Structure 1
């Protein structure tokens, strides 16, 4: 994987994305030439239309990122990718058509965009068929050797078997005398020179997956491997990189303290984040005020009670604040106390089910963003009662409050909606990853990917 602004991007995704961007640039030129030929006009010099071509490619490419064209599912299913590609290209063309209407002559003609849309879908699908079949082979995967044969090694084996995995396990080395969980593990005593063994297998990375590291670290072996130019990684860091979350089953306080992350250098980034929150929330409130007013009226007509729902939530550094949403449940929903939402929750009103699915109920929270109690991106704020319970059951839960809560977040775009302690544990792993690796780049990625969640109602309940 390549680390870009503290966030890991698989080589396969980066390769596919760059090829797609190149294809979009070529598509823009082909569409322009085709339109000029049909109209019987001189296409002109390439340099004169370079800016619109790059703009076309970037807008459509951004739409592709937003709708999940580069998700793990899209990488293994051409049919899935094709549906997302069609939506992404359509959204990109609509956006460019609006720009062409607002700024005439600055972009491609709208008739040219029609040609570009058809050509882009065909070429991008063809790229998926060719490149997708290649990046799934072991030639494009890192060769990893595991030191250990216990439960952690087994977890790595299961992770490597996923179709979207970016690595292949070439060997397991049994480092202790205990019974192995991974049956095919090779005893360390059977290998005379581990360094030569690593070189022979063409290993690019070694992962330390020992169940008990105290007084058992194979320092001599690790030093030999490291000096051969082979990357050595511990289990927790490897899992963080490959899954995009902090593995609660293996991390300990020392790993969190000494690992890369939680940088104090984020002061400038935090200032930029706040400026963006103020400008974006102010504009969004202005644009969506009619929508909020309309649905507030519909909520009043649909069921008895106030249009808005107010509730105490836990925010930055554990401080509480009042969150405001359009009411989607009956007024007596919490008469027996606060409880988790359920699938097909009977407390949700008819209109409430719709506004939850399209996220309209979340729009009033923009006011909390403008006031500085929330951000657009961050861990979802929870009810104080749930926080108290979860801090008792889940390690490091309090650490998620070291960043400002958000309307959307890394957990929301990566984990389906859940309302239980186990779901909270899974979401916490993503929240800790965000808190540890926050950058404006990650925020931008989350904001773009939120469009995918809204369009396909992923996570709504």
Structure 2
């Protein structure tokens, strides 16, 4: 609400400034009040801030309302102001009749300054209020520490000392099997999920005396099912924590493990692209959907759409959609991977797989937020358990939404056995370390080339 109000005030002040700067009274507009109360400018003052809120959301500013640094807040607000100013310029300033470009540029600077100073002032006040409430313990974040040794309690003491900045409220310690207990009232290791929900925890911090990668990854697999932030003390360094972004510079330094190493703005832009791309694609490909559905129906008996439970973001199960490419009851003997000469695949199914047309119903999964255009391919729980035995790091891919296409798919292709799935997962792990909008675009382009060349299988 603060951003909306301050953006509207910025536009109002700018229009008053524009009236006097451009001497719009020469156009018959007698009095600034007659100018600013024109129907067009009233609509502009009310509606444009809504568009600006969209830019603010894309910047990632609203993702985490608390624990923002002043510098981060200032830079984010400044970047948003520049983008909003350019949007305003393209829409409105070019319509000012007979005005020199230099004049418009001067107005551009004024508008940009207003769109930075006023929203930033509102944000500064709100952030200051939040900081005061955190210092007074009116706002806090319930935190569960996994570990009950002396070092875990030392971590808790450090968090309490930084409570004025970060607002951590340590509500319990979890006993780790094999470690010396510092407190006899620790929570059982097998009850982590249950207790986290009961205590209303929003943060989990892993602070063991020693933890090998296999145990850490197994623990992460459990914690990803919870809607909480998972962090670890950087002393527990391994390839699992390598490359993951660091949080809380001014408090206890902690490594975030529950989200990928991309900025909040990149997350929001990626999600926006997913929604727009999938929505437009479903509309444009509607004739292809209809023809493919008819072909599947005619080619063999059974449903047109095949639904299968896969594991997605934060290990949440969802139903993936595909055009059916196999005969009905193709897995009567249990889950089985497909291969190039799989007798279970119908003739029409082979054609659909060749051009990956069987995957296009997944744009609906993307639109709903269960998947992304680009991301590690989702697998079934049955195969995940086998993959993790060979590659424990596979659990890390649940930091992000699974994708219709992936780096593993374009570099390796379909997997017909567990070793192939492990090798493909290695590419997906590299993707996690290099996620960006540019990388996604490259993967999409490569995928389109693969589809058009008929190399889908």
Under a length normalisation based on structure 1, what TM-score does the superposition of the two structures give?
0.44
Q: Which has the higher contact order (CA 8 A, sep 6+)?
A: 1
Q: Which has the larger radius of gyration?
A: 2
